[in-house]
Structure 1
Amino acid sequence: MSGFRSSGSRADKADIERRLATATRGAELLDRKQRILQRAIDGLQGEADAARLAWEEQAALAAVWLQRAAGLDGSDRISEAAPDVPATVQVRWGGAMGISYPRGADCVLPVPEPTGGSSALAYAASAHRDALQAAVAAASAERALLLVSRELVATRTRQRAVENRWIPLLHEQLAEIGRKIAEQELEESLRLRWSAGLI
């Protein structure tokens, strides 16, 4: 855009006016996108806060039961109670305004097997399963919030560039072309008057 050189023609003026209309419409769309993203972030922030709180509560409960199980059953029995198959996570993706982000995640846990230890060990295993599921939900919510927040920052940056650089530059170019057209019209008028012998 900065390399634009105008000959001062009406075609140049029409071209700049089209570009200016496009830039103005682009700024309006970016502003609208910002408002939509901000509303999405407000909702996602609430979800992330609730998910983090749930995870912290579940993790604290799991830690209590693990301590009890360690006192009653010992670390060897706890290790034996750990499943051989790892848990897996399935992320559900969604999106808004052209960006994709997690809309939830499911933690698929291995089928629990009888531990043979104390009831504290069984409660510890159950509490850790719940804590893991809560951690996955919290991670999904945090990731969604991060991705949408990044898009909001990028959108604000683009809007500032359009409003503070592109649109003013186009206005300057339009004014310059207007001056050149006015000069050309004055010169043409003087030529016509001179050729008609009026000057």
Structure 2
Amino acid sequence: MADLRTPPGRAGRMRLSRSLEVARRGADLLDQKLRILRTAHDRLLREDAAARDRWHARMAEAETWLRRGLLLSGEDALDTPPAAPRATVEVHWTSTMGVRHPGAVSCTVPERAPDGPPAANTALLRAEAAYAEAVRAAAESAAAGEAARAVGAETRTTRRRLRALRRQWIPRLESALARVDAMLEQAEHEDAVRRRWASESRRD
């Protein structure tokens, strides 16, 4: 790693000292941010897992009712085209330490039109309601997964930046400052020796 280029003498030492102070303060701030992000990420991962489990459970329930309905009325019971429009999803955004991510989601699944064709049997009606719940659960799972992904990505970026500061940049500044201090001490020692020689020469 190349040496830092700094002005000679005390001006260079002052610049290095300021840079080192800024780097240490930045590392402290990044460390605080990382702790907050880790806590948030752990929480979001748990929420993501729970939302995914709910989605899978709702899908399993819906498929169970669908199979029962088809056993009762046959596959022809699904030939009637749906009369209801598609579900609508609205994502409500929030932020964690500057990271924008889904905070909640609203999913509206339209009910069966009153004048539409009725379900062939009660099981298919239950399947229809169960699939509506599965759609809502899927939207919540997608939002939770995206939130965990976004905060996780920022957590990894912050960890890399903190590691670079602590393992590379701060040690470089400390080494450069130590070299400048040694050079200044050597220069002061040599100057003191020259003054002493000059003083002894004048007495002679």
- Cα deviation, residue 63, structure 1: 0.3
Structure-2 residue corresponding to 1:175: 178
- Matched residue pairs, number? 199
Aligned 8 A contact 1:73 1:121 in 2: no
Structure-1 residue corresponding to 2:129: 126
- The 5 A counterparts of 1:1-199 are 2=2, 4-83=4-83, 85-113=85-113, 114-116=116-118, 117-198=120-201
1:152 and 1:100, CA in 2 relative to 1: closer, same or farther beyond 3 A?
A: same
Give the ranges of 4+ consecutive aligned residues of structure 1 lying more than 4 Å apart after TM superposition. Answer: none
Instruction: Name the Cα RMSD after superposition.
Output: 2.1
Q: TM-score, normalised by structure 2?
A: 0.88
- The secondary structure found in structure 2 opposite 1:154 is helix
1:115 and 1:3, CA in 2 relative to 1: closer, same or farther beyond 3 A?
A: farther
Aligned 8 A contact 1:20 1:171 in 2: yes
- Cα deviation, residue 149, structure 1: 1.4
Q: Which consecutive residues of structure 1, in runs of 5 or more, have no partner in the other structure? A: none
Letter in 2 for 1:192: R
Q: Which consecutive residues of structure 2, in runs of 5 or more, have no partner in the other structure? A: none
- Cα deviation, residue 66, structure 1: 1.2
- Cα deviation, residue 81, structure 1: 4.9
**Identical-residue share of aligned pairs (%):** 36
- Cα deviation, residue 83, structure 1: 4.4
Letter in 2 for 1:135: A
Aligned 8 A contact 1:54 1:134 in 2: yes
Aligned 8 A contact 1:115 1:122 in 2: no
Of residues 124-133 and 62-71 in structure 1, the stretch that sits farther from structure 2 once superposed is 62-71
- The secondary structure found in structure 2 opposite 1:112 is coil
Of residues 41-50 and 155-164 in structure 1, the stretch that sits farther from structure 2 once superposed is 41-50
Aligned 8 A contact 1:16 1:173 in 2: yes
